[in-house]
Structure 1
Amino acid sequence: MKKNLLVVQAGFIIVSSIGGYLLSLTGMSIGWMLGTIVAAGAISFWRPRFLLPSTSTKGIHAYWGYIGQYILGIELGQKVNAAVLQTFQDHWIVIVIMLILSTIFALLSGLLLLRFTKESLMTSFLSATPGGLSAMPGIAAELGANTATVSIVQTTRVLLVVCTIPLFSFYLSSDKVIEQSAQHAIMTPLSPTSFLWTQALLLTAWIGYHIGKLLKLPAPWLVGGMLGVAALQTCLGLYTGGNAAAWWPHQGITLAQILLGASIGSRLNRKMFKGAVRVCMVGLLSSISLVCTTILCAFLISRWTNISFVTATLALAPGGIAEMATTSLTLHADAAFVVAVQVLRVILILSFLPVLFQLLNKQVKKRTVGKAG
């Protein structure tokens, strides 16, 4: 049964990737992920039995997305260098401002949901907080919020961000992408030494995942793998004065886009939106306002610093670590900077906001009981 399910889900991913291939023909570097999301979402709504069992409501298995994150982690880890560390040292104040602003915008978006829906304070805030599709519904269940509403709004926002921010960034930086794509095409030839270094990267990323999981880092396959590979690259650079000449095919980023796109799109189903039209509409409007505010703040930050507009936009975008990491890699933005800001924000959100929401919820309940008495 498990073997048949594996074959069915692999077929789902392959069919969904056709949408990615078609969109990639436009020359859009992020087309593989966007096209796959659209195709996977359409299949999930249609739900043909030979591609997606009707009993499956959570989409394809999570390990497909983990494989994509694992590949991304290795890609990103190889890009971490002294220049990235220097960027943090030069702009740490800006990074703190970005984290604070994105958190404030999330709270305002939550107030919008609270005002125009019948959801509770806890549900509204958790729905609007950009902590990730995998993390926030789980936190909602622990804190007694409406997990269905949180899942719907989180999914709606991630799809909106992933389908708009990359397009916006692509057309904004299309000249740079074309200019840099020729340099990106250079790949280390396959040899016994380069293949050995590839195995070292795979092993280091795997160890990094386990350390990240132990430390409870968000998206450990991506973040832990990136930190593990970055540590290996840094140590090697200090010892030899250069990076490991590992054989790493550029098609890996395409595979990561397909796996992440299929994983996101497969979560859509009709049951999610049944009887939740008002929540969907308000959630969509709040997400649109959040995206517009993000773009405005990214523009201001790019004017004040030497951080590019695309990098600032992707770092602030409330679309998830893996999704923004993929976009930053394909658009040749400062991917390590984007992931670092995204990770710091998620850590801040998951560490402090649930506790804050719980305290606020208790205060609201006390006032309600007091007025009733």
Structure 2
Amino acid sequence: MEYLKTLILSIIGGIVMTYLNAPLPWTLGPIVFVALGSLVRKRPFRWSLRVRNIALILLGYAMGRPFTLETGRAILSQFPLMLTATLITVSAGGFTAWLMFRHTKINFTSCLLGCVPGGLSQMVILADEIRDADLTAVTIMQTLRMLSVVFVIPFLTIHVLPPASHAGTAQAVHQAGSPAEVLTFAAVAVLGAITAKKIHLPTAPMLGPILSTAAFVVITDSAAPAVPVPYINAAQILVGAYIGSSIDLTRLHQYHGMGKVLFGGVLLVLCVSMILGIAIANLTGIDLATAFLSTAPGGLTEMGITALVVGADSSTMVAYQLTRLLFIMLVFPYIARGIVYLYRKKSAGQTFKD
């Protein structure tokens, strides 16, 4: 019954946002209405992680189906750019953390983990493993950052940037498949998600289908059936409902002075991402919408949905976002611990001198 309430509220949110011409209405509507609904009734709405993962499998398949061998070669040639963009974006997030530390009473460790543009769940897990990190502060900072990005980037991509012209997305071409083809690719996507979870890949329910579908298309040289638009919208509702149910707005009042610095930092990172996007578009020839989504400090899920809606090159976007995601998950924890260690050592030395 609780899930049904969440679903109804999410659908209403999607409908309202559609009439308001909001960007990504079927994702943002559920997020806003479920989060605000939880605030009004003073207890959170609930949503199934399993249902969200099923929706992510569908979205992952939709993002993996345009992949070709030529796309793979182009992506490999851009790897130095991907790594450079990742380092610049993470550095901008680190500078935001320093500003947050200087203008609030939150400790440096928490500021660092709260401001770096990684996934909400990944940063919260890392904060739980590092001593003196304020888990609540990290969660609030990452939540506010995620909300800012989820609202601003789709708006800029849809209403400000030149329209994308990539023809391989589900929105651009409706290529119906036979029942046998649909079942085959569905099995490929599901097996990809299961395998990705077994080997502990980040965002496994989405990343697994992306990789398995792309690999199957390249190996078999076959065209993957498109996902009808209503299915994409339904998947967005299911994902948005989960994000909205995970946001606790009642905790925002606990940290005064955080919002202004954090939003300023988000604006800084967005400006850096836009500059990087323009540079990459000029260097590689890809359209600006794809380049911006590739460098934007959002999560793979949110940027992937935006890419599907605006017709951007989802394969290139996934490659750039995946590079940053893997860097943050595999390399950044060691960097964060090293920075925190040096900071503690410096602070201890100053205390000893005093």
Give the TM-score of the pair, scaled to structure 2.
Answer: 0.90
Q: How does 1:207-356 map to 2 (within 5 A)?
A: 207-237=191-221, 242-244=222-224, 246=225, 248-356=227-335
1:22 maps to what in 2? 16
- Do residues 34 (structure 1) and 23 (structure 2) align? no
Letter in structure 2 aligned against 1:342 = Q
1:46 maps to what in 2? 40
- Cα distance change, pair 44–120 in 1 and its aligned pair in 2 (3 A): same
Q: CA deviation at 1:187?
A: 3.6
Structure 1 stretch 338-347 or stretch 165-174: which is displaced more?
Answer: 165-174
Q: Is the 8 A contact 1:149 1:279 kept in 2?
A: no
- Cα distance change, pair 197–181 in 1 and its aligned pair in 2 (3 A): closer
Task: Specify the SS of the correspondent of 2:121.
Answer: coil
Q: Is the 8 A contact 1:23 1:31 kept in 2?
A: yes
Q: CA deviation at 1:148?
A: 0.8
1:166 maps to what in 2? 154
Q: Is the 8 A contact 1:195 1:247 kept in 2?
A: no
1:3 maps to what in 2? none
- Cα distance change, pair 69–353 in 1 and its aligned pair in 2 (3 A): same
Q: Is the 8 A contact 2:15 2:26 kept in 1?
A: yes
Distance 1:90 1:306 in 2: 13
Distance 1:181 1:138 in 2: 33
Letter in structure 1 aligned against 2:196 = G
- Do residues 138 (structure 1) and 125 (structure 2) align? yes
1:184 maps to what in 2? 172
- Cα distance change, pair 14–174 in 1 and its aligned pair in 2 (3 A): farther
Distance 1:212 1:132 in 2: 17
Structure 1 residue runs without a partner (length 5+): 1-6, 49-53
- Cα distance change, pair 357–229 in 1 and its aligned pair in 2 (3 A): same
Letter in structure 1 aligned against 2:67 = V
1:105 maps to what in 2? 92
Structure 2 residue runs without a partner (length 5+): none
Q: Is the 8 A contact 1:133 1:154 kept in 2?
A: yes
Q: What CA deviation, in whole Å up to 9, does each residue of 1:56-96 have, x standing for no partner?
A: 48x53433332221111111121111232132144333222
Letter in structure 1 aligned against 2:213 = V
Q: Alpha carbon RMSD of aligned pairs, Å?
A: 2.5
- Cα distance change, pair 313–15 in 1 and its aligned pair in 2 (3 A): same
1:361 maps to what in 2? 340
Q: CA deviation at 1:177?
A: 7.3
2:136 maps to what in 1? 148
Distance 1:24 1:180 in 2: 24
Distance 2:162 2:10 in 1: 26
Q: CA deviation at 1:153?
A: 0.9
Letter in structure 1 aligned against 2:233 = T
2:7 maps to what in 1? 13
Q: CA deviation at 1:154?
A: 0.8
Q: Is the 8 A contact 1:19 1:32 kept in 2?
A: yes
Distance 2:107 2:21 in 1: 45
Q: Is the 8 A contact 1:30 1:331 kept in 2?
A: no
Paired residue for 2:57, among 70, 86, 94?
70
Distance 1:272 1:42 in 2: 13
Q: CA deviation at 1:369?
A: 2.4
Distance 1:185 1:133 in 2: 33
Distance 1:282 1:247 in 2: 43
- Cα distance change, pair 28–361 in 1 and its aligned pair in 2 (3 A): closer
Letter in structure 1 aligned against 2:92 = F
1:119 maps to what in 2? 106
Q: What CA deviation, in whole Å up to 9, does each residue of 1:319-345 have, x standing for no partner?
A: 111010000011100111111211111
Give the TM-score of the pair, scaled to structure 1.
Answer: 0.86
Count of residues paired in the alignment: 351
